[in-house]
Amino acid sequence: MIRSIEKSLLTHDETLVELSLTFMNPSVKPQVKKIPCDLCLSDNFFPLFEKESSRNENFLIQKCGSCGLVQVNPQPDLEAVKPYYSASYFQKRTDRGYNNYFSDELKRQLFKVYEMNLNDAGFYQFEKERFYKLNIQKPSFLDVGCAAGYFVEFMKHRGWEAEGIEISNDAASFGIEQLKLKIIVDDFFSSRDLKKESYDFITLWASIEHMHSPVKVMKRIHELLKPSGRLILSTCRYGHLAKFRGKDWRYMNVPEHLYFYSMKNMKRLAAETGFNTLKSFSYGSGFTAKKDSGFAYKAGKIIMDPLVKILNQGDMMVFYLKKI
């Protein structure tokens, strides 16, 4: 995730999670309540496995018996997950965080991923239409959960009226002070700086799996987009690789990740919140870049990365959506 978690994102109003947890003692388990499925509101679940977090807390991973959405349930609320987003999340490389998120090296890596995903989605044709066919001098853009604002900077350099919104002041301050970007430090849901039907384009990069209610997130984005506006979102994909790896899957990070969507369920989420899927694709073979990796590992990555993309079996996925 490039973002910190939304500060005041609520779960279902009628089933707010109750907690009694002392974080000074990592052996104390949170007291939580089962919540209905965010996608279909069903209470029918069956357990897959338990996964231990980096703070030695166990969380149950369940699959909805009605729609198949895999999720952490019972689900911890915001206060329970806050400690997982400490400074080390952005500055110390683990499977759950970044190796110095504020480094130029990581920024270059992210820019490559942005360019790859925009190109594969066919975004640049939409960009040309906004600039030339519609003759919009500066189309409007918003990055939700922008962290330090790297993609805001990317879009600003392309001529967009670019801004981001981020709840973490620590993350956003870098973009505001060092990169001179327009970043709103506020809650995505309640911010008065975000106006309805104000944006031509919105992005949600690797964030929705962290949110307590993806349905509410998508509805909020829908109301902020202009008619026929576009949304690009990326998230980890629960497919063959995830099932094969089980609790050892590289994106099975709990409780940072709360939801694990399949491509089918993401298409359903998009359709039910007012979006038409223009394109969807996957990438990522599970081989993560490692400086000290051996020849066999590097060869495996070279072979598998393009292969899973061709076969559409990657464990990351991107959706290019149009507001209906």
pLDDT digits (tens, 9 = 90+) for 180-219: 999 999 989 889 999 999 999 999 999 999 988 999 999 9
Average pLDDT on 238-246 reads: 96
Residue pair 64/39 in contact (Cβ under 8 Å)? The answer is yes
pLDDT tier at 273, thresholds 50, 70, 90: very high
User: Is residue 6 assigned to a domain?
Assistant: no
Q: Does residue 5 carry a pLDDT above 50?
A: no
pLDDT for the residue 100: 64
Token pair of 34, please?
């089962």
Average pLDDT on 251-274 reads: 97
User: Is residue 214 assigned to a domain?
Assistant: yes
User: Is residue 2 assigned to a domain?
Assistant: no
Closest CA to 209 of 192, 232, 234: 234
Alpha-carbon distance values, 317 to 83, 260, 301 (Å)? 27, 11, 18
Helix (H, G, I), strand (E, B) or coil at 276: strand
Q: Lowest-pLDDT range, 30-34, 225-229, 245-249, 271-275?
A: 30-34
Percent of the chain exceeding pLDDT 90 equals 64
pLDDT tier at 232, thresholds 50, 70, 90: very high
Token pair of 132, please?
């030339």
Concatenated DSSP letters of 182-234 = -EEES-TTT-TTS-TT-EEEEEEES-GGG-S-HHHHHHHHHHHEEEEEEEEEE
Average pLDDT on 319-323 reads: 98
User: Is residue 71 assigned to a domain?
Assistant: yes
pLDDT for the residue 31: 54
Average pLDDT on 60-80 reads: 94
pLDDT for the residue 18: 34
pLDDT for the residue 87: 56
pLDDT for the residue 9: 36
Tally of structural domains, the chain: 1
| Distance of alpha carbon 267 from alpha carbon 72, whole angstroms | 20
pLDDT for the residue 86: 63
Task: Give the domain extent around 271.
Answer: 13-323
Bigger pLDDT: 114 or 31? 114
User: Is residue 130 assigned to a domain?
Assistant: yes
Q: Does residue 23 carry a pLDDT above 70?
A: no
Average pLDDT on 79-91 reads: 69
pLDDT for the residue 85: 72
Bigger pLDDT: 324 or 136? 324
User: Is residue 8 assigned to a domain?
Assistant: no
pLDDT tier at 292, thresholds 50, 70, 90: confident
User: Is residue 85 assigned to a domain?
Assistant: yes
CATH at residue 195: 3.40.50.150
pLDDT tier at 241, thresholds 50, 70, 90: very high
User: Is residue 5 assigned to a domain?
Assistant: no
Token pair of 65, please?
């018996």
Q: Does residue 33 carry a pLDDT above 90?
A: no
| Distance of alpha carbon 138 from alpha carbon 31, whole angstroms | 49
pLDDT tier at 88, thresholds 50, 70, 90: low
Q: Does residue 3 carry a pLDDT above 60?
A: no
pLDDT tier at 93, thresholds 50, 70, 90: very low
